[in-house]
Amino acid sequence: MHTLIKYFLSACLMASFCMVSGCAVHADNLPDFIALVKTRSPAVVNVSTKAKVSVTHMLPEQYQSPEAERLLDEMLKRFFKEEGKGGGGLPRFDQGASGSGFILSADGYIVTNHHVIEDADEILVKLNDRREFKAKLIGSDKRSDVALIKVESNNLPTLTIGDSSKLQVGEWVLAIGSPFGLESSATAGIVSATGRNLPTDSYVPFIQTDVAINPGNSGGPLFNLQGEVIGINSQIFSRSGGYMGLSFSIPINMAMDVVNQLKSKGKVTRGWLGVYIQEVDQDLAKSFGMLMPSGALVAQVIAQGPAVDVLKEGDVILEVNGQSVDSAAALPAIIGGLGAGQQASVTIMRSGKREVVSITIGELPLQETMGSTQPEVKPALPPVPETMLGMKVVPLDAGAKKALGERAGVLVEQVTGEPAKQAGVLSGDIILLLDGRAVGSPEQFKAIASDFAKGKTVPLLVQRDGAARFLALTIE
């Protein structure tokens, strides 16, 4: 019995030793961030701001408007006048924000996020050694969320800039910043994806990580294991307001291009193609004769834009200067990185065939507008008696025709069944193209539709709410 107990205890000790040894071996293979944090933390700063905001900014968003501000101003003027205080009008209050940043050069240039310093009246920078400086805004770019500020000092600690194009999924990365005001906090994780495009930031191909990023980390650096800055922490996806495992950083290569432009001319210019695009799904790919969905589908070419005489609605952009366009979301960042006046070689799919066209890139306007709004459409009589492709179409009235300019189209008066319902056609849509052919009248629409064989999928271009979009119509 004693021998059995001794054997059991020995087995337990051996198992424990193996488990401990295994942990030790595993731990030895993990990266050691101690030296990196010690040497890089001095160049990571806390950025805080102050701004004067009116009382309307403290209201819920749905109540914020110039009208609300004027109304409150009048009310407060009357109130203060009645109280014998002179009727000073709408008071303004101090509002602060806090984020992170890092020192780019020893003479005081600092990089942070645009949203950290946006609308700031005063910017304060606090260093790792507790020194504080007032900073001056050199320039800021909302589209990339990058800002450059400067403090008056010398011999400041700096960071080494890396190459974000060499970053690989699965690579270890480290973030240092001030989440919730907790300065010099370090968190680590891996790269989850590169070139991630978000709907709200189409000009930034984000680095996605699982590094714990929280409010206050914004503007702080993302390091690789060599201690090089390869990203600027910018956004998180969260349902709670805090970290949920999806963090997004601006690639440093793109950020440095923005910084250099801000430093040299105080603003950022980007390339512009002058088209509105949409994603290609499986049905649309089929309608355009593509084997699989990819590229960016041109839904509208802007008048007087760089591509107006080169690209057509229905073209699918597949490559730009040899760089693959995997999705519509990837195109703005690719074009934005080109200089105005530069010749770009663009590979497109047109009428089922690959073509290469040359386009002179323009400069992205400060504000992109459609150039036209959805006309108020009233059906003109008489309507076409038949229902074709699950919809009834009628001519446009004179006002709608004038609003469309040189374009021709017909109004969808009613959606009656398939295949229009399945394609997502809505009453009030204006049909511009059917299977690549212009539709100028209900008779033309009927003539084109009568040629389709059963089972065929064709592209339908409609204008809805002032924007053009393609729908895939599968003939029953």
Asked about 114 being catalytic, the answer comes back as: no
Distance CA 353, CA 341 (A): 28
For residue 82, what are its two tokens?
């009645």
For residue 79, what are its two tokens?
């109130």
Asked about 141 being catalytic, the answer comes back as: no
Length of the chain: 476
Q: Which of 98, 114, 144, 145 is catalytic?
A: 145
- Cβ atoms of 45 and 127 closer than 8 Å: yes
Asked about 218 being catalytic, the answer comes back as: yes
DSSP 386: S
Residues of the chain where predicted confidence (pLDDT) is lower than 70: 1-28, 53-95, 199-201, 367-386, 405-406
Distance CA 315, CA 326 (A): 15
CATH topology of domain 271-363: Pdz3 Domain (2.30.42)
Main-chain dihedrals φ then ψ at residue 6, nearest 5 degrees: -60, -40
DSSP 424: T
Rounded to the nearest 5 degrees, what angle is found at the Cα of 333, between the Cα atoms of 43 and 246? Answer: 60
The CA-atom distances, in angstroms, between 299 and each of 198, 361, 363, 467 are: 20, 19, 20, 9
Cis previous bond, 419, omega within 30? yes
3-state DSSP call for residue 310?
Answer: coil
pLDDT value of position 263: 94
DSSP 299: E
Q: Which of 312, 271, 276 is nearest to 296 (CA)?
A: 276
Main-chain dihedrals φ then ψ at residue 324, nearest 5 degrees: -65, 135
pLDDT value of position 386: 65
- Which helix (H) or strand (E) element contains residue 420? helix 420-423
DSSP 8: H
CATH topology of domain 391-474: Pdz3 Domain (2.30.42)
The CA-atom distances, in angstroms, between 127 and each of 42, 117, 256, 466 are: 7, 17, 22, 49
pLDDT value of position 476: 75
pTM: 0.74
Q: Which of 123, 57, 49 is nearest to 91 (CA)?
A: 57
Rounded to the nearest 5 degrees, what angle is found at the Cα of 48, between the Cα atoms of 47 and 52? Answer: 145
pLDDT value of position 30: 82
DSSP 272: E
Return contacts of 88-91, CB within 8 angstroms, 24+ apart: 90/54, 90/55, 90/56, 91/54, 91/55
- Using DSSP bridges, classify how beta strands 160-161 and 228-236 pair: parallel, antiparallel or unpaired: parallel
The two domains 44-150 and 160-265 share their CATH topology (first three levels equal): yes
Query: Could you tell me the residue ranges of all domains in the chain?
Result: 44-150, 160-265, 271-363, 391-474
Q: What is the DSSP string of 347-364?
A: EEEETTEEEEEEEE-EEP
Question: Residue 30: which residues within 8 A CB-CB, separation 6 or more?
Answer: none
For residue 366, what are its two tokens?
């400060």
Domain spanning 44-150 has what CATH number?
2.40.10.10
3-state DSSP call for residue 455?
Answer: coil
Question: Residue 26: which residues within 8 A CB-CB, separation 6 or more?
Answer: none
For residue 135, what are its two tokens?
């900073």
Q: Which of 57, 73, 107, 115 is catalytic?
A: 115
* Amino acid (1-letter code) at residue 263: K
Residue 201 bridge partners (DSSP):
198
Class of domain 160-265: mainly beta
- Cβ atoms of 334 and 326 closer than 8 Å: no
pLDDT value of position 29: 73
pLDDT value of position 197: 82
pLDDT value of position 171: 97
Distance CA 231, CA 124 (A): 23
Over residues 359-391, the pLDDT tens digits come to 999 999 875 543 334 455 555 545 444 678 889
Which position has the token pair 């001519």?
Answer: 395
For residue 388, what are its two tokens?
């074709």
List b or e across 328-337, with b for residues whose CB sees 16 or more CB atoms inside 10 angstroms.
bbbbbbbbbb
Q: Which of 218, 247, 249, 287 is catalytic?
A: 218
